[in-house]
Structure 1
Amino acid sequence: MRLQLYLRAPEGWPIVVEQYSTVDYHTGGEPFRIVSSLPVSIEGVGVPAKRVYAMQSPGIERIRQILCFEPRGHADMYGGFIVEPNDAGAHFGVLFWHKDGFSTACGHGTIALGVWAIESGLVAIDPSEITDVVIDVPSGRVTARVHTDGEIVVAVDFINVASYLLAEGVPVSTSLGEVVVDVTFGGAIYAQLDAASVGLTVTPEDAAAVIAIGREIKWALNESECAVHPSDERLSGIYGTIVYETLPPHPGGAVHQRNATIFADGELDRSPCGSGTCARLATLTANGTLVNGATLVHDSIVGSQFTARVLERVEADGHDAVMPQVTGMAFKTGEHVFTVDARDTLTPGFVLR
């Protein structure tokens, strides 16, 4: 929400100050800034069309930059504008954003929105203590299945759109030599690279090198044939590169991997990446690593963890696909009223990457 306040400068002239209210969460260490009210309308019939409108609107772009860029945000910031859903079948819609624009999907953000919807009272807790928060996002309709203990949220299942392998064993020329990646749709399109194949580990010590190779692969494949979505051009393009490593089986026998997802232009997801985990589920199912009923334990570069499993096998866009469920938790980090002084020459802000 934006208000206009009038302050008095020493010479007596009024200074207009913009204000934007947000509620902030983190999911597995990855921020998510929720903006439930905007001073401008986002036009379009349905969330996908609203995303296109927002991308083309200088006014909405300016607000995104104010809330994402320094000095109010940073180069790895993430957030979303709450908008009307496609129809009465969802509680609300959301436009996800990062430092470079508006994304098509965001699993960690969906988990945060599920917690926010319950904790804010927007959606009432079901007496069963399992409450479905239904959200329209640019890639389709998703569900944040919120588990509660009394009135306390204890976990959220992110149930995504159908996810499927687009291309397997794609060669890419990079500064580290030719690498081979798989390309999969999980609400957004991801290239996936085995860290060991380029001598890297998914650890903070190798973070800079992981970001560098992730950026290279994304831009090398972004306009390639394997990055074309089969039914909706608005979902085309490589959203991110998942650099992963396989760990010893988790206690109980679950498949255990660690990943760093590099999205936008060099943003490193601190969480295990929700939609990226869905892409990994689809890839690991397609190549036989995940058998029916198996669980994927997915770690992030900072040690946070999601668990994931396939709910069912389906067909989507002419592909064998999976309906993925990713379980995690989000925690509120604060409520903010950000101000913009009309005299501030650094508005809407800046990023250094």
Structure 2
Amino acid sequence: MTLKDRLIRLIETGGPIPVSTYMQLCLHDTAQGYYATRPGIGKDFITAPEISQIFGELIGLWLVHEWKAMGSPEEIRIVEIGPGRGALMQDALRLGMVAGGEDFAKAMRLTLVEPSPAMRDIQRDALAAAQPDFVSTLAEVPAGPMLLVANEYLDCLPARQFRRDGGSWRECVIGLDASRDLVFGLAADEQAPPEGAGETRAVVEVQTGMDLLVADLVTRDAPFRALFVDYGPSDKAPGDSLRSYKDGEQVSPLALPGESDLTVDVDFGRLARLSRKAGLDVAGPAPQGMFLLGLGAQARLNQLVKANPDDGEAMFNAAQRLIDPKDMGERFKAVCLSSSGLPAPAGF
């Protein structure tokens, strides 16, 4: 039975399901979800670490800088959520070990938040030298000082969608049409205006997983920083941003459940508000291009081009994709959540 068959049976039995439930099952179902069975990095989508090594290398320098800002604790938990094929952390640790020296190498303990057994095997091979530990959720990360990195993780947190219907709001759901195929619709019950509704908005998305993320961070009893890089608006709730990709092409979100990547824009403003309300310090969101330039992207690019002149043009073009406001430099944002009492993080 395919995931689509299971979804149809679920809807036939219990009625239409929220968009967030659909996203959760399509992406994270342990048996047939997209991330568990069809890791599509470099095929259905490509992320910054696969575009240029500079991205991960600068993150490595950032990790060393923030470890020192914490007072260079004897043990520091380096955590990545959604490590993909391990490219970001490979680059980060390669340069981080050079910049941090023997003390950082001795202090560093790598933990990867990855529920998929198939992806764990890939990451274990890629990062064998660092001897990573694996957990399935952030809540399982061991106690102690922590530096967390998550690139393109927030965009796959399931989102509830709400649509204005006349003078009221209703939640967007997925049901079945006359031919038993998946179709978008609206719930029968009216809803209170969602956060970020405003006077003129027609559709608002709310990622409730942000609340759990902040709650997990707040419960930690040791200093931490959590760096998130993703795409979305800085100061308003996204509208209807749900989309799906297969083999690098955009397809209908309902066409290939479990076989295509689903994504939504991140509401960075809401994440910042939740974090401040919980007592966390917030830096950003800052455009990715400005963040990387602040960490020394231009200087690192110059070093790489000088050492590899034959590949100079390709290296420049790859780095430009990450930094140029017309490409990823403005649409992608960086935000850092920290326990209170730490100095401002680098890059912001």
Say whether the fold is shared (TM-score over 0.5): no
TM range (shorter): under 0.3
Between Structure 1 and Structure 2, the one with more helix by share is 2
Between Structure 1 and Structure 2, the one with more strand by share is 1
TM value normalised by structure 1: 0.25
TM value normalised by structure 2: 0.25
